[in-house]
Chain A
């Protein structure tokens, strides 16, 4: 069949047309008859006791349907928002898991915490009624930083969580690390902060719910990366309503980056409210509301030490981190700074002993959870910064020190001392490729040119690996996951031979409608244009865990590959019957079933037709129809990685850091669509550059107010901040995924912050600067330069 577009091709995206012509269907675009509008009243205080809520005036306003509070939630016996991970501390005890009510119960714990929900005929009226609700608070001292939160005498968020400590978690062999440090010729030490970030997908969160009193069915449209998980958590654990009577639709979603992979209280409140008021309820977050309610990311304070022998071989790594959880445990919260952090501290190196201790801490801030990379950028930043510090202190070239410690290609599969076993990789190949692609040889000349202009120029490396394709359920279960992490796909072949795929991952920019169609086109020999991908609707798609952790292609694509293989198996049985041959003699290639060694054949389309018009069909052994489903649970994580090289120029007069060049050579396994992979790398890298140079969520440490609460105060990377990047792949194949794929959604964000900061420190190294915390804003860099001993003038 013509127009087969398979693995490795770069067709333009199927999903583009509706977005380019203004015909996307995002949640905020959805309108329902007789719809009402909801507004959340959120805490203005970082920490306070709610003494009373007077809703009389609001309820007296004509057109106001309801004002719902925590008391109504309690009266209806509803559950609180569940945490999907239950980790254990080094003492063997489970983490402290205080309830996260969907509307505050007695106390608010961060600015943005939800206190009440106002529903009215119009948005204006709902806003006016929200103003008329009087809330009496007893304001308490707030604590926003992890170091302050664990100090004796700090404000306590929960009566039963002493010292605000959720969990004191550890990983690795502490004794082996202690022994190794005793033998070390050199120990490199570094204290660092991994700055708090706000994901800010361009589409603000939104939800609409309606209840059908005739059938008892609920429908929720929500900006979610995982509608089936929302349905399960919300129906079974929060609202306690029948799962089969709940439909969750996540239509076009305008970016996620993790921010939309949690079950949010708004979703449950709105669904509950729709039944209570008997009308559809719509809520769309303002951006300002998103800043104080979208789950934040990162926020670590870390002390790390690397022990080396006299030749620069890494002997042991010790990392102690305080991780901010915010005011409550969000869906994946405690998993991120522990299981997705500690196991990545091996990096691409042969470090034989690693110990990691993470204190997971509550503070009066927005709950912290996964944001693109989630734990792995933090781990990479620790390791890659520390390698540069060690190189500088020992007088060994940074690249040479990496070469001495990188796991050689032939050592794979490689078992690290921190749980994970890398199946494949070639970090040295990525490094060598990047040195050429970044024209490192020409750097000295460029640096001289910069110096001539009175500027500082620096080069920074990050050789890194990540674990993604979340996740092997059995492995995750041992680490504390309370759910499975497989994926499902159905391949529905129509009587025409055209195909609809129903898949449990969610496409919100990653190009799944194109990539997955390429897989089917290749596997079934069906024209690329004849494959449609359906996702994001629990009434259409059987089940799914959604899209996060670079899992869609790795886990969802594997399920799709398996389901496609099942279609071929069944097709061969039908073909054997029609061609009067033995099933073993049927071959399938490029959409044609043929009898080996003959010219007898049937097209895929003919087989599909026979399956649905079974006049001449082996009905005694085979059911009619051609539709197959597969669930796939991976056997290991995948380990993409690579080498990133950043080159910056710093203006010492202003402290402005300009990213001049950026080169990435990444191993993402098999590439299905190189255009889409490159796009994922671009976006991921710029989010990491954002963390390194621009973005910072800042709280006032007395009041708990978010000071960086809008795009005026929180710097998003913009077009004129950035150069064109050079992206190359240097792939080894994953040994355990069906197509050898490794995933590419997060690599950019994981590798880049360290590369950028290493380049900034390199540019300032002549001043004796050993470390700069993120973000490297002009203010911070200018101060670093002013505080450093200025060098002697060269001439």
Chain B
């Protein structure tokens, strides 16, 4: 079936088997391999994307559900292709050593962006609670939590000249 949706800010129409999971659509059909698959029970959160602004595990969405909606993946978060401009949340993860092997990172960053949209100044406890659905095996979470707090602060800081 044909579905149309906004993918990383651009209109997109794809022909897809109805039983395709969004994680699979992104990785196998659209070659957007930044969204990772770390489990088969919707527990790990490596595949989190923003669907209509909400953080969603893309292994829990079927492709037809995208029709008419807006999808943002990790590839759509930074500046345009070839640009080295990082989103403030990505920059915060870099500054605070919020990643090691990088596998859980896209899901962590997308979850953090969604959290900050809803709660611009989260506490440490709120950040830890909001990351409950994302597993990281490398960092012990401490620097991820620090990154999210710093990223939230940066996203809310007035731009220079404002």
A residues apposed to B, CB below 8 Å: 12-13, 15-24, 26, 28-29, 31, 199-204, 252-257, 286-288, 508-511, 675-676, 678-679, 682-687, 710-712, 716-720, 722, 724-725, 748
> Known contacts A511-B100, A679-B100; is A20 also within 8 Å of B131 by CB?
no
Q: How far is the CA of A509 from the CA of B102 in the complex (A)?
A: 7
Chain B contacts for A22, CB-based, 8 A: 32-35, 73-75, 106
Q: How far is the CA of A675 from the CA of B74 in the complex (A)?
A: 25
* 17 contacting pairs across A/B (C-beta < 8 A): A20-B74, A21-B74, A22-B35, A22-B75, A26-B36, A201-B103, A202-B44, A202-B103, A203-B103, A255-B137, A679-B100, A679-B139, A682-B141, A687-B140, A720-B131, A724-B142, A725-B140
A722/B141 in contact, CB under 8 A: yes
B100/A255 in contact, CB under 8 A: yes
Contact flags B128-145 to A (C-beta < 8 A → 1, else 0)? 110110111111111111
Contact flags B47-76 to A (C-beta < 8 A → 1, else 0)? 000000000000000000000000001110
Chain B contacts for A21, CB-based, 8 A: 34, 74-75, 77-78, 86, 90
A370 to chain B, nearest CB (A): 16
A289 and chain B: residue at smallest CB distance: B40
A269 to chain B, nearest CB (A): 21
In-complex Cβ contact of A16 among B40, B99, B140 (8 A): B99
Chain B contacts for A17, CB-based, 8 A: 84, 86, 94
B84/A16 in contact, CB under 8 A: no
Chain B contacts for A28, CB-based, 8 A: 27, 33, 36-37
Chain A contacts for B135, CB-based, 8 A: 202, 711, 716, 718
> Known contacts A21-B74, A26-B36, A711-B44; is A683 also within 8 Å of B140 by CB?
yes
Q: How far is the CA of A98 from the CA of B58 in the complex (A)?
A: 44
B102/A24 in contact, CB under 8 A: yes
Chain B contacts for A687, CB-based, 8 A: 137, 140
Q: How far is the CA of A464 from the CA of B101 in the complex (A)?
A: 27
Chain B contacts for A720, CB-based, 8 A: 128-129, 131-132
B138/A16 in contact, CB under 8 A: no
B75/A508 in contact, CB under 8 A: no
- Known: A22-B34, A254-B36, A287-B40; 10 extra A-B contacts, CB below 8 A, are A19-B101, A20-B74, A199-B137, A202-B103, A204-B37, A253-B101, A287-B44, A710-B41, A711-B43, A719-B145
Chain A contacts for B2, CB-based, 8 A: none
> Known contacts A200-B137, A719-B134; is A508 also within 8 Å of B95 by CB?
no
Chain A contacts for B102, CB-based, 8 A: 15-16, 18-20, 24, 252, 254, 509
Q: How far is the CA of A288 from the CA of B37 in the complex (A)?
A: 12
A20/B44 in contact, CB under 8 A: no
Interface residue? B97 (CB, 8 A)? yes
The winner among A29, A254, A508, A676 for most chain B CB atoms within 10 A is: A254
Chain A contacts for B137, CB-based, 8 A: 199-202, 255, 257, 683, 687, 716
Chain B contacts for A678, CB-based, 8 A: 97
Chain B contacts for A725, CB-based, 8 A: 140, 142
B130 and chain A: residue at smallest CB distance: A719
Interface residue? B109 (CB, 8 A)? yes
In-complex Cβ contact of B90 among A20, A24, A26, A724 (8 A): A20
Contact flags B98-131 to A (C-beta < 8 A → 1, else 0)? 0111111110010000000000000010011101
Q: Number of B interface residues at 8 Å Cβ cutoff, please give it.
A: 54
A202/B74 in contact, CB under 8 A: no
A47 to chain B, nearest CB (A): 26
Q: How far is the CA of A715 from the CA of B142 in the complex (A)?
A: 19
Chain A contacts for B134, CB-based, 8 A: 719
B93/A16 in contact, CB under 8 A: yes
In-complex Cβ contact of A20 among B39, B94, B140, B145 (8 A): B94
Chain A contacts for B106, CB-based, 8 A: 22
B97/A679 in contact, CB under 8 A: yes
Chain A contacts for B37, CB-based, 8 A: 28, 204
A200 and chain B: residue at smallest CB distance: B137
Q: How far is the CA of A720 from the CA of B141 in the complex (A)?
A: 9
B residues apposed to A, CB below 8 Å: 27, 31-41, 43-44, 46, 73-75, 77-78, 84, 86, 90, 93-95, 97, 99-106, 109, 124, 127-129, 131-132, 134-145
A253 and chain B: residue at smallest CB distance: B101
A722/B105 in contact, CB under 8 A: no
Q: How far is the CA of A335 from the CA of B90 in the complex (A)?
A: 42
A690 to chain B, nearest CB (A): 9
Chain A contacts for B144, CB-based, 8 A: 719
A116 to chain B, nearest CB (A): 21
In-complex Cβ contact of B38 among A204, A684, A717 (8 A): A204
Chain B contacts for A19, CB-based, 8 A: 99, 101-102, 105
Q: How far is the CA of A551 from the CA of B134 in the complex (A)?
A: 30
- The majority secondary structure among interface residues of chain B is loop
- In the A-B complex, the 8 residue pairs with the closest CB atoms: A22-B34, A19-B102, A254-B103, A509-B101, A686-B140, A509-B100, A682-B140, A711-B43
A707 to chain B, nearest CB (A): 15
Q: How far is the CA of A287 from the CA of B135 in the complex (A)?
A: 13
In-complex Cβ contact of A12 among B38, B95, B129 (8 A): B95
A682/B46 in contact, CB under 8 A: no
B46 and chain A: residue at smallest CB distance: A202
Chain A contacts for B141, CB-based, 8 A: 682, 686, 717-719, 722
Q: How far is the CA of A719 from the CA of B139 in the complex (A)?
A: 10
B47 to chain A, nearest CB (A): 11
B95 to chain A, nearest CB (A): 6
Chain B contacts for A718, CB-based, 8 A: 131-132, 135, 141
B41/A711 in contact, CB under 8 A: yes
Q: How far is the CA of A264 from the CA of B7 in the complex (A)?
A: 38
Q: How far is the CA of A18 from the CA of B78 in the complex (A)?
A: 11
Q: How far is the CA of A166 from the CA of B33 in the complex (A)?
A: 44
Chain A contacts for B74, CB-based, 8 A: 20-22
A683/B138 in contact, CB under 8 A: yes
The winner among B99, B102, B131, B145 for most chain A CB atoms within 10 A is: B102
Chain A contacts for B109, CB-based, 8 A: 20
Chain B contacts for A200, CB-based, 8 A: 137
Q: How far is the CA of A717 from the CA of B137 in the complex (A)?
A: 8
Q: How far is the CA of A684 from the CA of B40 in the complex (A)?
A: 25
Q: How far is the CA of A552 from the CA of B104 in the complex (A)?
A: 23
B153 to chain A, nearest CB (A): 17
Chain A contacts for B104, CB-based, 8 A: 202, 254
Q: How far is the CA of A28 from the CA of B46 in the complex (A)?
A: 14
B34/A510 in contact, CB under 8 A: no
A24/B136 in contact, CB under 8 A: no
The winner among B32, B38, B144 for most chain A CB atoms within 10 A is: B38
Chain B contacts for A252, CB-based, 8 A: 101-102
Chain A contacts for B33, CB-based, 8 A: 22, 26, 28-29
A331 to chain B, nearest CB (A): 21
B35/A682 in contact, CB under 8 A: no
Q: How far is the CA of A719 from the CA of B106 in the complex (A)?
A: 16
Chain A contacts for B36, CB-based, 8 A: 26, 28, 202-203, 254
Chain A contacts for B100, CB-based, 8 A: 255, 509-511, 679, 683
A255/B140 in contact, CB under 8 A: no
Chain A contacts for B90, CB-based, 8 A: 20-21
In-complex Cβ contact of A722 among B46, B129, B140 (8 A): B140
B39/A287 in contact, CB under 8 A: yes
A755 to chain B, nearest CB (A): 14
A676/B97 in contact, CB under 8 A: yes
B122 to chain A, nearest CB (A): 12
A290 and chain B: residue at smallest CB distance: B39
> Known contacts A16-B94, A22-B73, A725-B140; is A202 also within 8 Å of B101 by CB?
yes
A508/B101 in contact, CB under 8 A: yes
A284 and chain B: residue at smallest CB distance: B37
A22 and chain B: residue at smallest CB distance: B34
Chain A contacts for B44, CB-based, 8 A: 202, 287, 711
B129 and chain A: residue at smallest CB distance: A720
Chain B contacts for A748, CB-based, 8 A: 140
> Known contacts A254-B102, A719-B128; is A20 also within 8 Å of B86 by CB?
yes
B157 to chain A, nearest CB (A): 19
